[in-house]
Amino acid sequence: MQGYIPINLSQGYNITVNVSLARELGVYDLLPEDKIHWSYDEFLEFCRAARENGKDKNIYATQLFAGSKSSDAVYYSFMMSGGSDILNADHTGMAINEEKASDTLTLFKTMIEEELVPSGAATTVDNDIRPNWYSQKLVCMFVSTGTGEAVNVKKQIDSGDIEPFDVDIYEIPTPDGKADPHVMSWGSTGFTIFKNAGDNAKIEASKKVIETFLENQSYSQEVCVQTGNSTVLKDLDVDYGDDKLNEQAKRAAASTAEYADSSIGVLESWWSDFRETFYVQLQSYYTGEKSAEQVIKDWEAAGNEVIAKSLQQ
């Protein structure tokens, strides 16, 4: 028997925007008014204007990465919002829509070819983009979820490590800007509190720990404040010490409930191996070795092989 304490909700993937920089560069009005619906063309218009107006200060629209073994959920979220599934309904194989996924990959390739992002996307690791982000050389960033990055920014501003700037949360664009986004979420997170092998004393002690955590809402609130995530406890308000953050947290939680999909991911026994099949293909695409269509075919072949092997065990 094991006990489990739910801590917080991993919010759906989205885009964090440096709105201070967007205003400075005169591109703030190119962001979607509802912070949700914008098309690929509108997103590219924003990125092109940001790069053009920030070029003399070495500012880019954003930064892409493919040297990672993490943050792949950002790219999956873009494909899903673009209208393509990643897996079939029963998760026994991949179900990529080649045409729609190709359109999404073309969006990234356009950003590279037009130099809207720094060079070296094929070998850049996700966390390596943060120095550019914190030094305000990027107008937006893809590797954040919910209010997590806003909390990171606030902490570094408060500690004096970086110059102050305001951030806000915008949803991932869709091809026509009319459809709602469809993004990944890792679901709720928590920790196992005990493994007791039937020891009644340990069982009772661990139950008491769980009860104490759930009854003292301040514990859950503090975890959320430190991580930027939302609580899984119903109707529990979290004060992040900033009115803007509080509003963003509520909006991000509502967005997660409306647009996020936590049905795929870490619950699959094969997920870790499956993730290894993606970036090698994206790297080949970013360097021009493969077309979008070939990337999708090769990724499906490798991904299906991993899934099939796991299901046979």
Residues 26-42: pLDDT tens digits?
999 999 999 999 999 99
DSSP-assigned letters across all residues of 177-191: S-SPP-EE--EEEEE
Amino acid identity for residue 271 in this structure = W
Q: First vs last Cα of the chain: how many Å apart?
A: 25
Give the angle subtended at the CA of 131 by the CAs of 278 and 252, to the nearest 5°: 65
Calculate mean pLDDT across residues 198-203.
Answer: 83
136 or 205: which carries more pLDDT confidence?
A: 136
Calculate mean pLDDT across residues 46-63.
Answer: 98
Say how many residues make up the chain.
313
Phi and psi at 229, nearest 5°, equal -90, 170
Report how far residue 168's alpha carbon sits from residue 285's, in angstroms, rounded to the nearest whole number. 30
Please, is 83 exposed, middle or buried when counting C-beta atoms within 10 Å of its C-beta (0-12, 13-18, 19+)?
middle
Q: Specify the pLDDT at position 29.
A: 98
Calculate mean pLDDT across residues 103-123.
Answer: 98
Calculate mean pLDDT across residues 116-127.
Answer: 96
* Residue 208 CB contacts under 8 Å (≥ 6 apart), including other chains: none
Which H or E run contains 201? helix 200-215
Q: Specify the pLDDT at position 200.
A: 86
Calculate mean pLDDT across residues 173-179.
Answer: 98
Structure tokens at 212: 């104490």
95 or 189: which carries more pLDDT confidence?
A: 95
The topology under which CATH files domain 15-184 is D-Maltodextrin-Binding Protein; domain 2 (3.40.190)
71 or 48: which carries more pLDDT confidence?
A: 48
60 or 144: which carries more pLDDT confidence?
A: 60
Does residue 6 carry a pLDDT above 70? no
Q: Specify the pLDDT at position 2.
A: 61
Residue 233 to residues 9, 228, 236, 238, Cα–Cα distance (Å): 9, 15, 6, 11
Q: Specify the pLDDT at position 234.
A: 59
Amino acid identity for residue 228 in this structure = G
How far does Cα 113 stand from its chain's mean position? 24
Based on C-alpha coordinates, what's the Rg of the chain?
21
DSSP, collapsed to helix, strand or coil, labels residue 75 as helix
**DSSP 8-state class, residue 51:** H
For the ranges 184-188, 213-217, 253-257, the maximum mean pLDDT occurs at: 253-257
Of 158-167, 190-199, 279-288, the range with the lowest mean pLDDT is: 190-199
Of 76-80, 122-126, 143-147, 172-176, the range with the lowest mean pLDDT is: 143-147
DSSP, collapsed to helix, strand or coil, labels residue 133 as helix
290 or 146: which carries more pLDDT confidence?
A: 290
- For residue 236, name the pLDDT band (cuts at 50, 70, 90): low
Q: Specify the pLDDT at position 262.
A: 85
Report how far residue 187's alpha carbon sits from residue 262's, in angstroms, rounded to the nearest whole number. 5
Calculate mean pLDDT across residues 153-160.
Answer: 90
Does residue 1 carry a pLDDT above 60? no
- How many CB atoms neighbour CB 34 within 10 A? 9
Report how far residue 108's alpha carbon sits from residue 142's, in angstroms, rounded to the nearest whole number. 12
Structure tokens at 97: 């829509």
Q: Specify the pLDDT at position 193.
A: 65
- For residue 57, name the pLDDT band (cuts at 50, 70, 90): very high
Calculate mean pLDDT across residues 119-145.
Answer: 93
Does residue 266 carry a pLDDT above 90? no
Mean pLDDT of the chain: 89
